[in-house]
Each structure stands twice: as C-alpha cells, then as structure tokens.
Structure 1
C-alpha cells in the first residue's frame, strides 16, 4: 500500500502546485523511484478518464473514507494498470466490491466515445508524442571519472559503443543497447530514448549526471576557468552547478543561491554525490544579494537560470497532459522577475561574462528579457555570437537576437531551451572564450586512452575512476 499512498501524495502535490512530478517523486524518499514515477505519470495521463469512471460509478459517495487521489491511483491499477502490484492492502477488498461497476462504467465510456482501446480514450494532447522521443543524454562527471572508463564500463555491460555521432540522424536512429558520444560536448553520452539509468551504479555513485543536452550548454558556454569565482543565481536542482564545478575542477568558488528549502536540501545531496567541494549553498533570494558585498568582489562569471514557465520541458507533457501555453498574466509576472534578476546580475562590478537561460519557449521570457537588459545598460554588455552552426537561433525580435540559441525536440533533439551569452564590452575586443567554442561545431577528437590511465579489470563491478 505504501506505493499507492506515495503516488496519491505526489498527485495531490502536483495538483496543488507544490512541485513537479519528478521533484515530488524524488523528494518522497520512496525506495523504488522508477516504479513510483511510472505509476504517477500513467495515472496522471489517464486522469480525466479515471475521474469520469469514478464519478459514474459513485465510488467516492459509497466509500466516504476513500480519498480522491488514492481512489484515482487504485482505480488506475485495477482497470488500466498491472493489478495491484503494490499489494493493495486494506483497499483491495474495498475495490473488489466495486470492481464490476467500475469495469462496466469504463466499457460504457468506450461505447459512448466510439473507441475500443483504453489508449483511444485519451485526448490527443495526452498521448505520448514525438517530443518525448528525444535521446537520453548522460553527462560524465569529470570530478569522479572520465569518458573512456565509462564507455568501457557500459561495453562490458553489453552495450555497443558506436563512437562520436556525426549528425542528428545518428542520434535519432539509436535503438536497443547502442550508445554514442555527442558531437558537441566531449563528456556527453547519448542513449536511445527512454533508457532508464536511475538505478545504474554509476549514476547512484555520482559518476553520471542525467542531464538533457540543452541543459548542459549554459555551463559549457559560461566556461569559467579553474580558480574562478562564479555565481549560480537560481541554482536548484543543481545539475548545472555540478557541471560548473566539473569545469572548475573544484578549484575556485561557486556561490549558489535558491529560495526553496526542500530543493536546496536535495541539491546538497546531489552535489555531495557528485563530489563537488567548491560550492557554497545559501537559502537566499538572489535579488537580495548585494553586488557590492566584498564576498563577491572576485565574481567574474554568473549563470542565471531563473524560474520560468517550463513550457519547453519534456516532462511537462506527462505531468500536465494537454496543457496549453501559460497565461499572459503568469508570463508577465515571470518576465518581470526575470528582467529584475538579469539586471541585478549585470550590476556585479567584476562581472565579465553571464549566461542567461530558461527552459521556456516563450518570447516574453527569452528575447524580450535580454533586449530589456541590454537597453538598460547600453554600451556595457553585448550579446556574444556563440555556436554559429547551432541550427536553432533566437527569434529576430531585435538586432543581434540571432546570437541567442534556442533548442527544441524537432530541431536539436533536446528539450525546449533558450540561452543568451552576455559579455562586458571592455573584454570583448579580443576573441572571447565562448566564441572559441563555436567554429562550425567542429567536433573535438573522441576520447583516447592514455598509457598511464588506470584500466578497469574486465567485468569489474566497481564504478571507474573513483
């Protein structure tokens, strides 16, 4: 019964906007997160169908002690799932009393809608679509291991390594137990869509970070050299922070801020698992951090990934089936905060380079925010033209907006994302470090084995490069 209680609690939390499905699942401390996540997503996907069946059968009227979200999870298992894999506990005999009626109401709903399969009861927007078929990107955590050893480890597990990808088509055609090295990021492995590595020993030991390719770009484009002082302004859940630490080789300082106590606690766990030792976490609003504070006098790099509508997130299609665009009122409020945060970040006196990113598709949160900040600091910062061959550019809403990057499942086989790199004018006369990352997306050589590099014994179960 613990499975169903946990699933009901997550559904209730999502409905009351306490967090996302993934965040609530991982914050639940339920032992089998894969099982819990799958059950919650499927129950949510069939939510409207289950509501209709439960209402028609009068289940909640007949069983007044049965909470609505628990009922929804149990009825999903009874009618559409695997039949009480979590045991069912005291609710199993209760549901058995109503089983015939519930099945009859489901059959009646199919007849009414003129369909024969359960899947056909879903609205078009609730069905898994092409956007969910992006590859599984896995970042090798350079603080703990190296790409060569991880590749060897997977090969010993029966995976087939196909080298560095040369095109998006290579990524799109991945199937089975085949994987590739990303053509752009030297420590990013690419597996077929829906490859689940949450229980893999390398992930659990912090050697791998499950992170979408678009989400890896902000830290890569900020490119702080080891020894730098960096601010991660809105840091949780921490994947980008751990990426920054890897780029810094744990040398220097990351000041990471976030207001959400629970997300910050989860982030601390993630960073500890990843071996990050150069980060100082603070439960604090970035807007309340003074640019004149002497603690930040050496900060030359800022990563700003503020709260946004999340309209580009692939998991949103599972968590909010059929969800439309965010309302104008919500976009206005979000954009106002984003504009304040970006202008505040640009006020740090030693700042040389900043990356602004969102997982939003909305112009109001992306190009409009960047344009507003540039207009408020004329001649101080400029947009850096990065990754010239990246296929999806910023909307042409103002001169230079094409220097921004966008990402989407259709054009880049990633989640929806927006990235802008701003650099102080006085340091822009020479070729910037971020621009050096861009020429024609020429791939760097695939990882090569060094003679002195420690090799894993064939078939070893210990994670590499500890």
Structure 2
C-alpha cells in the first residue's frame, strides 16, 4: 500500500473508534481481517498513524481547527512522519486511494498554530474533566508531565535471571539496538519507534522462547524491586493478572519460598501458566478464583496489590483509553481499590508488608487510597514505609528521577514518563507492626 491508502485506512479506523467508542486494538484488528491484502508493514504503518492521532487528539485538533478523523489522520502523518505539506501533497498525488488533502487554510493553521496559546488540557492532550485531577497529582509541571504521556513508548524487557544475564540478552537482541535500561538492573530497552517504523516482535526470538526475558515496562520492574521480596519469603500476588510481577518476584526470590498468584478474573490469569513454565519459575502456586484462600490469612511476609485502575500511566500505549475514561469509571475503580486493599490486609502477618501499586497518575487512586485505608484500619498496626528512602538506597544515582510525597509519617512515590522514562506508576509500601 502507498501512503494514501494507509492514511485512508487510518482515517477509517479513527472514525470507527469515535463512532463506536471501542478499543483501538479491536478496530485495527477488524480492519486487518476485512482487508487481508494489507501486509504486516502496512498494518504497522496504519497503526502508527492511528495511535499518534489518538495520543495527540486535542493538540492536533487545536492546530488543525478540527478534531474529526480526517483532520487527525493528516496531522498524525505530517507530525509523526515529519513531512512538509508540499511533500505530503506530492506523495498523495495520483493515488486513487488517497483522501483529499485539507484546504490550504487548514494545513497552514496546523503549521502556524501556537500551542502555548491553547488551554492547559489541550496542551496536555487530556479531557477537560481530568485536568484538575492531574494538576492535583503532579503539581505545577503537570501539563508537561501529561504531554509526555502522548509520546511514543519504548519497548521494555526484563531479563529472567533464573536463566540468563543482561549481557547475554543484550547481545542476543543486538540486531534491534537493544540497550541496558537506565534504572532497572535487569531491564533492557528498545527505543521508541520513529516515523513509519515498528517494534520487533521479540516474542518470536529464540531467547524469549527459552525464557531468557519477558516484556515488562521498566516502571513495573522497579515496583517489584521496591517491594523487597526476598528469598524464602511467603508472598501473595493478589491481582496477578497475566503474571508479570509474579515472574519478577520469582526471580528476585531465586525460586525459593512461595509465591501465591491469584486474580478475580480467570481470563486475565490464564496466560500465567505458560509464562511460568517458559521462565522456569518453580516457586509460584496459581490459585483459581473460586479457591478458598482462608489458609493464607495472616501468614504472608509480603502481599502485593497491583490494583485495578484507570491505567492513566499507560496512555502512551493505550491512548484511546483516555478518551473513553469517565468520572463514573474512575469512581468504580476507587471502590475496587478500597475493596482489594481491605482484602489484602487480612493476609499480612504481623511484621509483614503490603505493597500497593497502580499504573495511574491520578491521586484519587493512589495516595488518597492509602490515606483512606489507614483510616479504615486504624489500630491494626499498619504504617506507611519511607519508600522515597528505599528508592534512594536502590538507585542512589537517580534520587531525583521519581516524585516523592510524604504521607502519614512515611513516603510514597510516583514514576512518570517525563521524569523516570517509564510508564506512570504509583508505589506505596505499608509495614505491619510485629
């Protein structure tokens, strides 16, 4: 497919996403199934245009004077591919599948618009209703922090130290320009794609099949490390999902002790079995959602809650989610977070720890949930640990690379794309008196 056909397809997908308010991944998949002539390179290029348009929907709309699918598609090509208007017009000329070029007034506006004159929510590329919440969470620099969620993300991997070391995996992935991560000691990064490029499918690589590495954002890796899981401990991963953090904890614990992986949704949990086998993780016991776990109450050294959340910290990877998010959905997530924290508390032994993690940058889901938990569980011996000090001890060269907030005598941290170079993550650690 030529650029015109790819752009027309991207506009079609964007129109579908807007009209049906459906996940962009589903819309792209359906388009591919209906247009089997399109090769993998075509599908990747179309996906780039669609995702770029959704990441910067408001700033592109401001610059084009139009938030329609066609305007956003053209903006994404001009910006994402770094093309000049005349260059794009020449590329589309004579292509019968290409959409009509916007008028000179619109493309001129796109090139000359001054985003500094736009409202904060537009410059941040977020819905109006969420702007105040992000400002409360991130402070004076919230616009720049939120705008960083509109950039293309890197591909992050975690070396499985049960089977390999980082040098070995970096060497195996050398054709993809893989490098050691800045912060996570077992992390590897493949830089964000540029132009019409695409990330490699690392899951077909021999190293992945052998269990040498897993795909995991560097922020998620750091959250697992901050939990302090140690060899021989009893650990409960209460919202294990597909098992990413359980796998990281198993390697940290050197396949000793016991990790209990549980999730309320068996569909989310299903992939964990294959992943554990490939990684050689032998100290993980997977619990069916219907299973009675009463025998674990009061016996865990560490209970990890990777809580259900809005996912605002992952908007680089799932930009359509920010336009579907509603205040009702946020309220529902807050209820779920309180409920899972209350459940988790029952499993923590005296002297044990409760780690709370979200991939959200909204304070209502983060520090506010910890404060509310402490009120509900007053007298049960829970106290907020000094996570900022833990970060400084773990990464003394990167003390300023996360946001530290004092809370109830301890501290909690937030990682962001702009500051940490990761997805957005919140981490709090509660210690229970012995």
What corresponds to 1:211 in structure 2?
216
Q: Compared with structure 1, are the counterparts of its residues 137 and 37 closer, same or farther at alpha carbon in structure 2 (3 Å cutoff)?
A: same
| C-alpha contact 2:356 2:428 (8 A) present in aligned 1 | yes
What corresponds to 1:301 in structure 2?
302
Q: Compared with structure 1, are the counterparts of its residues 217 and 40 closer, same or farther at alpha carbon in structure 2 (3 Å cutoff)?
A: same
What corresponds to 1:143 in structure 2?
162
Q: How many angstroms apart in 2 are the aligned matches of 1:8 and 1:244?
A: 43
| C-alpha contact 1:21 1:37 (8 A) present in aligned 2 | no
Residue 302 of structure 1 deviates from its aligned partner by 1.1
Residue 281 of structure 1 deviates from its aligned partner by 3.0
Q: How many angstroms apart in 2 are the aligned matches of 1:417 and 1:45?
A: 22
Structure-to-structure mapping, 1:170-319, within 5 angstroms: 177=177, 179-180=179-180, 182-183=182-183, 185-194=184-193, 196-199=199-202, 200-284=205-289, 293-294=294-295, 298-316=299-317, 318-319=319-320
Residue 187 of structure 1 deviates from its aligned partner by 1.7
Structure-to-structure mapping, 1:146-165, within 5 angstroms: 146-154=165-173, 157=174
Q: How many angstroms apart in 1 are the aligned matches of 2:166 and 2:271?
A: 26
Q: Compared with structure 1, are the counterparts of its residues 415 and 422 closer, same or farther at alpha carbon in structure 2 (3 Å cutoff)?
A: same
| C-alpha contact 1:21 1:319 (8 A) present in aligned 2 | no
| C-alpha contact 1:242 1:271 (8 A) present in aligned 2 | yes
Cα deviations across residues 198-252 of structure 1 (Å, max 9, x unaligned)? 3343234431222222111232122322333321111113211210121222333
What corresponds to 2:25 in structure 1?
21
| C-alpha contact 1:251 1:278 (8 A) present in aligned 2 | yes
Q: Compared with structure 1, are the counterparts of its residues 152 and 283 closer, same or farther at alpha carbon in structure 2 (3 Å cutoff)?
A: same
Q: How many correspondences in the alignment? A: 357
What corresponds to 2:339 in structure 1?
340
Q: Secondary structure at the match of 1:242?
A: helix
Q: Compared with structure 1, are the counterparts of its residues 247 and 207 closer, same or farther at alpha carbon in structure 2 (3 Å cutoff)?
A: same
What corresponds to 2:85 in structure 1?
none
Which stretch of structure 1 is more off in the superposition, 209-218 or 194-203? 194-203
| C-alpha contact 2:355 2:428 (8 A) present in aligned 1 | yes
Query: Could you tell me the TM-score, scaled by structure 1's length?
Result: 0.61
Query: Could you tell me the TM-score, scaled by structure 2's length?
Result: 0.65
Note the aligned Cα RMSD (angstroms): 4.8
Pick the structure with greater CA Rg.
Answer: 1
Q: Compared with structure 1, are the counterparts of its residues 53 and 299 closer, same or farther at alpha carbon in structure 2 (3 Å cutoff)?
A: closer
| C-alpha contact 1:332 1:364 (8 A) present in aligned 2 | no
Q: How many angstroms apart in 2 are the aligned matches of 1:10 and 1:107?
A: 17
Unpaired stretches in structure 1, ≥5 consecutive residues: 57-71, 82-97, 160-176, 427-466
Q: Compared with structure 1, are the counterparts of its residues 360 and 409 closer, same or farther at alpha carbon in structure 2 (3 Å cutoff)?
A: same
Q: How many angstroms apart in 2 are the aligned matches of 1:124 and 1:393?
A: 22
Q: Secondary structure at the match of 1:269?
A: helix
Q: How many angstroms apart in 2 are the aligned matches of 1:129 and 1:253?
A: 41
| C-alpha contact 1:10 1:40 (8 A) present in aligned 2 | no
Residue 138 of structure 1 deviates from its aligned partner by 2.5
Residue 112 of structure 1 deviates from its aligned partner by 4.5
| C-alpha contact 1:134 1:413 (8 A) present in aligned 2 | no
Q: Secondary structure at the match of 1:312?
A: helix
Residue 275 of structure 1 deviates from its aligned partner by 2.6
| C-alpha contact 1:311 1:325 (8 A) present in aligned 2 | no
Q: How many angstroms apart in 2 are the aligned matches of 1:231 and 1:23?
A: 36
Cα deviations across residues 260-279 of structure 1 (Å, max 9, x unaligned)? 34432334333333233333
What corresponds to 2:367 in structure 1?
367
Confirm or deny that 1:400 pairs with 2:399: no
Q: Compared with structure 1, are the counterparts of its residues 243 and 268 closer, same or farther at alpha carbon in structure 2 (3 Å cutoff)?
A: same
Q: Compared with structure 1, are the counterparts of its residues 115 and 12 closer, same or farther at alpha carbon in structure 2 (3 Å cutoff)?
A: closer
| C-alpha contact 1:224 1:301 (8 A) present in aligned 2 | yes
Which stretch of structure 1 is more off in the superposition, 9-18 or 273-282? 9-18
What corresponds to 1:39 in structure 2?
46
Cα deviations across residues 389-444 of structure 1 (Å, max 9, x unaligned)? 34334445x4335x111111222121111000111112xxxxxxxxxxxxxxxxxx
Q: How many angstroms apart in 1 are the aligned matches of 2:291 and 2:288?
A: 11
Unpaired stretches in structure 2, ≥5 consecutive residues: 82-94, 115-121, 127-145, 393-398
Q: Secondary structure at the match of 2:357?
A: strand
Q: How many angstroms apart in 2 are the aligned matches of 1:143 and 1:272?
A: 12
Q: Secondary structure at the match of 2:262?
A: strand
What corresponds to 1:435 in structure 2?
none
Q: Secondary structure at the match of 1:103?
A: coil
